[in-house]
């Protein structure tokens, strides 16, 4: 294999992970054997890469909402709790579904970093949830065209509209019955929602993920 040519059309994306300097050569991670190196993850090629990408985002969301319910913010109202619990359960279901679908191709469990989130604050929790849900919507929207298998596309579609429903519910908790609760700020003048490539999404997720993740072949 011609490594030079191969590298020229591949892209290394590394999420967060302050300590582990990693380099991808032809999609193979060469960690520096730092503390998180054992958890370093390469998403992989083709449909597997896209599903692993989704799996990484679902891991992030599931871990976040699990923490939200374990350490509820002060004066969490019943309505907050019901909605956040339901969302947590969905994200866990999405994560587990993707893990099972990927089987032995699944990346490892990612180590998350929520140090920027104040779990005692409703405002901080909902703002983070808002970020994750809208990032998820744009990520799935942008990834659809990267899938080759139509069944995977419908499976991803079955998840993305739930993320969009979550985004609306979170926006409604922040600002009830507002334009924002039906997408203002994310839906453009043509009525289109966001769509981002993995290379645009991964840097936004990076601050919340400690494990170095590379996507050597995703655009």
112 forms bridges with which residues in the sheet? 209
In this complex, which beta carbon is closest to other proteins, that of residue 20 or of residue 87? 87
CA distance 105 to 117: 31
> What is the pairing mode between strands 28-30 and 23-25?
antiparallel
C-beta separation of 217 from 146 below 8 A: no
In this complex, which beta carbon is closest to other proteins, that of residue 5 or of residue 86? 86
Q: Is 185 exposed, middle or buried (0-12, 13-18, 19+ CB in 10 A)?
A: exposed
What are residue 25's phi and psi, to 5 degrees?
-120, 115
CA distance 216 to 214: 6
Minimum separation from the CB atom of position 144 to other proteins (A):
5
Minimum separation from the CB atom of position 183 to other proteins (A):
5
Tokens of 120: 């005692």
Minimum separation from the CB atom of position 182 to other proteins (A):
5
Residue with tokens 């922040």: 174
In this complex, which beta carbon is closest to other proteins, that of residue 71 or of residue 178? 178
CA distances from 145 to 50, 82, 140, 161, 197 (A): 10, 34, 9, 16, 10
Minimum separation from the CB atom of position 195 to other proteins (A):
5
28 forms bridges with which residues in the sheet? 25
In this complex, which beta carbon is closest to other proteins, that of residue 203 or of residue 219? 219
Minimum separation from the CB atom of position 171 to other proteins (A):
8
Minimum separation from the CB atom of position 213 to other proteins (A):
22
In this complex, which beta carbon is closest to other proteins, that of residue 18 or of residue 182? 182
Residue 141: count other Cβ atoms within 10 Å of its Cβ.
19
Task: Give contact residues for other proteins (rule: CB under 8 A).
Answer: 82-83, 86, 89-90, 93-94, 97, 100-101, 137, 140-142, 144-145, 149-155, 157-169, 172, 177-179, 181-184, 187, 189-195
In this complex, which beta carbon is closest to other proteins, that of residue 21 or of residue 192? 192
């Amino acid at each position: 294999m011609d490594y030079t040519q191969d590298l020229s059309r591949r892209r290394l994306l590394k999420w967060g992970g302050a300590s582990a300097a990693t380099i991808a050569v032809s999609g193979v991670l060469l960690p520096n054997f730092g503390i998180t190196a054992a958890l370093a993850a390469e998403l992989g090629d083709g449909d597997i890469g896209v599903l692993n990408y989704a799996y990484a985002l679902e891991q992030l969301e599931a871990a976040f909402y699990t923490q939200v319910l374990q350490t509820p913010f002060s004066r969490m109202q019943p309505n907050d709790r019901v909605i956040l619990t339901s969302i947590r359960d969905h994200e866990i279901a999405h994560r587990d579904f993707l893990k099972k679908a990927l089987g032995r191709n699944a990346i490892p469990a990612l180590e998350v970093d929520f140090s920027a989130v104040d779990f005692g604050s409703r405002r901080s929790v909902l703002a983070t949830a808002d970020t994750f849900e809208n990032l998820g919507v744009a990520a799935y929207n942008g990834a659809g065209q990267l899938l080759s298998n139509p069944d995977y596309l419908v499976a991803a579609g079955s998840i993305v509209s739930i993320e969009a429903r979550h985004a609306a519910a979170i926006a409604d908790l922040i600002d009830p019955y507002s334009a924002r609760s039906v997408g203002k700020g994310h839906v453009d003048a043509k009525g289109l929602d966001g769509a981002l490539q993995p290379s645009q999404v991964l840097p936004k997720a990076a601050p919340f993920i400690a494990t170095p993740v590379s996507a050597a072949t995703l655009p």
